Structure 1
Amino acid sequence: MHTKEYITAGKDLKQAKKALIMLHGRGAQASDILSLAPHLQVSDYALVAPQATNYTWYPYSFMANPNHNEPWLSSALDVVGEVVKDIEAAGIPKENIYFLGFSQGACLTLEYVTRNATKWGGVVAFTGGLIGDVLYTEKYKGDFAGTPVFIGTSDPDPHVPVRRVQDSTRILQGLHANVTEKVYPNMGHTVSQGEIDQANKLVFKS
């Protein structure tokens, strides 16, 4: 099971008006995802990057049956929820809480916000989709109320099929998220400058 461990950067939580939760990919560290921050328009945000136990949020593919990824998947979702509570306790409301993830962290990001749809500040998923061998739509509830969401991915990507990205977009749109999906030909499993530009334009614009 995961323990709630995270590193912070940017503004102090008690002084910032906005916070960004950054979720790293498989085999990475919280410091790795934080290294994206200088490229994003988040200089006035508190940055919070949780660390997955053993450097992975769940053991198998995000497209495996969710039961095969337990108890790690539920524990990872719980950690994100606890971080949200910590941020709220510091005085930052949900509408000023933002999320960003890459790869496995992008999948976890989308899964958490869609299970808890509300008016968030914004969501960025660099190569990810909702989790499951199929999409269990009964798990997704709430109303994003126009929350801006950017999802970028490569075609092809070795881990994330474009079809799953497209299906995830439709589910988020059904919960009233304002989703922009961009598919980049042969981008590879990485974060591109084009994606950074889109995230800044669509999500971190204020």
Structure 2
Amino acid sequence: MLEIVQRGVSLDRAEKVAIMLHGRGASAHSILELEKYLNLEGFALLAPQAKGNTWYPFSFMAPDASNEPALSNSIRHLEDLVSGLYNQGLESEQIYWIGFSQGACLSLEFATRHAKRYGGVAAFTGGLIGEKLQPWKYSGDFAGTPVFIGASFRDMHVPLERIEASAKLMQSLGANVQKLIFQDTMHTIRQEELDWVNTHIF
């Protein structure tokens, strides 16, 4: 099991839980800095720490085998974390996903492989994982879960085409997807993105 850094309300008192996934080379503590900018009052914040600071070794669009077994292990760790929340009496709609870059990709991938009514998904620069999208990997019903994806129109790591395809696939499973695509080339989180998710998700 991964180390989990916790902040916010204690789990036994929380009515909402945010699972926050850091980017490649970053840390659980770094993604938790978003607490300063997002409306997360009253949330339990859970930030898993990836081994070696990466959830999988290569690009999220690299040949699938090259990211194994790390990707499957990361998904399995998240399955264990979510199962633990369910065992504590929490429902899926009380769970929110927040990720940046590699963490955004993993957030989208996990939620779409286990589609159900979550509280929301905020993916700051991310898309579904795989050399090619394989719709058979994904199942369930998002039942209107609000999903946000924000990114540059020409991000160095996440092509716009993959964002568009990811959004379309998630919409086919019932997600309410909003994309904000910016006319810059920065790999970052913008104030406009924070404002949108604070208004519409948190």
Would you identify which runs of 4 or more consecutive aligned residues in structure 1 move more than 4 Å?
A: none
What CA distance in whole angstroms lies between the structure 2 residues aligned with 1:24 and 1:30? 6
**Is the 8 Å Cα contact of residues 107 and 129 (structure 1) preserved in structure 2?**
yes
- Aligned alpha-carbon RMSD (Å): 0.8
Q: Residue in 1 aligned with 2:80?
A: 82
**Structure 2 unaligned blocks of 5 or more:** none
**Structure 1 unaligned blocks of 5 or more:** none
Q: Residue in 2 aligned with 1:151?
A: 149
For residue 176 of structure 1, the aligned residue among 171, 174, 178 is: 174
Structure 1 position 202, deviation (Å): 1.5
For residue 134 of structure 2, the aligned residue among 133, 136, 139 is: 136
CA deviations on 1:125-153 (whole Å, 9 max, x unpaired) are: 00000001110110011000000000001
What CA distance in whole angstroms lies between the structure 2 residues aligned with 1:180 and 1:137? 20
Structure 1 position 91, deviation (Å): 2.4
TM-score by length of 1: 0.96
- Does residue 1:98 correspond to 2:96, yes or no? yes
**Is the 8 Å Cα contact of residues 156 and 185 (structure 2) preserved in structure 1?**
no
CA deviations on 1:150-206 (whole Å, 9 max, x unpaired) are: 0001111100000100000000000010000110111500111111011111211xx
Count of aligned pairs: 202
Which aligned pairs between 1:22-37 and structure 2 lie closer than 5 A?
A: 22-37=20-35
Q: Residue in 2 aligned with 1:127?
A: 125
**Is the 8 Å Cα contact of residues 2 and 51 (structure 2) preserved in structure 1?**
no
**Is the 8 Å Cα contact of residues 115 and 141 (structure 1) preserved in structure 2?**
yes
**Is the 8 Å Cα contact of residues 150 and 202 (structure 1) preserved in structure 2?**
no
For residue 45 of structure 2, the aligned residue among 47, 51, 56 is: 47
**Is the 8 Å Cα contact of residues 157 and 189 (structure 1) preserved in structure 2?**
yes
For residue 117 of structure 1, the aligned residue among 115, 118, 127 is: 115
Structure 1 position 37, deviation (Å): 1.0
Q: Residue in 2 aligned with 1:65?
A: 63
**Is the 8 Å Cα contact of residues 15 and 94 (structure 2) preserved in structure 1?**
yes
What SS class does the counterpart of residue 72 from structure 2 fall into?
helix
Structure 1 position 56, deviation (Å): 0.3
Structure 1 position 87, deviation (Å): 1.9
What CA distance in whole angstroms lies between the structure 1 residues aligned with 2:89 and 2:185? 39
- Does residue 1:5 correspond to 2:12, yes or no? no
Among all aligned residue pairs of Structure 1 and Structure 2, give the percentage whose two residues are the same amino acid.
49
Structure 1 position 34, deviation (Å): 0.2
TM-score by length of 2: 0.98
**Is the 8 Å Cα contact of residues 121 and 148 (structure 2) preserved in structure 1?**
yes
**Is the 8 Å Cα contact of residues 66 and 73 (structure 1) preserved in structure 2?**
no
What CA distance in whole angstroms lies between the structure 1 residues aligned with 2:68 and 2:187? 25
